Amino acid sequence: MIIKSAEFVCSNTRTDKLPNPDLPEYAFIGRSNVGKSSLINMLTQRRGLAKTSQQPGKTQLINHFIINKNWYLVDLPGYGYAKTSKSNREEWERFIRYYLKNRQNLQCVFVLIDSRVEPQKLDLDFCAWLGEHGIPFVIIYTKADKQSVVKTDQNAAKFRKAILKQFEEMPPEFISSSETKRGREEILGFIEEVNTRFGG
């Protein structure tokens, strides 16, 4: 897939204010500081499209971007860390979960996993929640350039083993690096393939 255009559409905490659900939509989520904004910018080849920050928990809204005028990329708040009150955090969780369960044009959720760490309970719990609610998801291991290929593969294998304790089969998975653009063509190819089935 060639990205010809990538434009910011809106930021929201209100699901009733989201764009009309008439195009396929893909949500990106992960623990804070997993490299989500960098990955989105790498996929779209727009350096400042998603705001990157050294401060975890920066994305606090549902951010919609329209890509090639025919699908939505959605940047969701990270889970598991936010320098904010417990009630604020619970409010975010509530609207994110509501969005994920009720957005009818959502094709799948890309769950970003830091390839440098062993499986985290937070990530596994979130994947289990998606599974319980029948929400399709895909795993993207991030920051693969920060360590050896062997180490990335080892951590991916451990995550796969942990997921297969909860699921009968492994969802699609990709290894990525925002620095080297590893995984870009594969992830966009996957989206393109799903797009062709939308509304069919």
- Residue 24 inside a domain? The answer is yes
Number of domains in the chain: 1
Q: How far is residue 30's CA from residue 109's CA, in Å, rounded to a whole number? A: 10
User: Strand 106-114 to strand 71-75: parallel, antiparallel, or no bridges (unpaired)?
Assistant: unpaired
Give tens-digit pLDDT for 75-84: 998 886 555 6
- Residue 21 inside a domain? The answer is yes
- Residue 1 inside a domain? The answer is no
- Residue 155 inside a domain? The answer is yes
- Residue 65 inside a domain? The answer is yes
Give tens-digit pLDDT for 25-84: 999 999 988 999 999 999 999 888 887 544 444 556 889 999 999 999 999 988 865 556
Q: Which domain holds residue 39?
A: 6-197
0.95 surpassed by pTM: no
- Residue 16 inside a domain? The answer is yes
- In this prediction, residues 95-104 reach a mean pLDDT of 92
Nearest partner of 178 among 145, 153, 132, judged by Cα: 145
* CATH code for the domain in which residue 138 is found: 3.40.50.300
End-to-end Cα separation, the chain, in angstroms? 20
Cβ atoms of 100 and 106 within 8 Å: the answer is yes
- In this prediction, residues 177-196 reach a mean pLDDT of 96
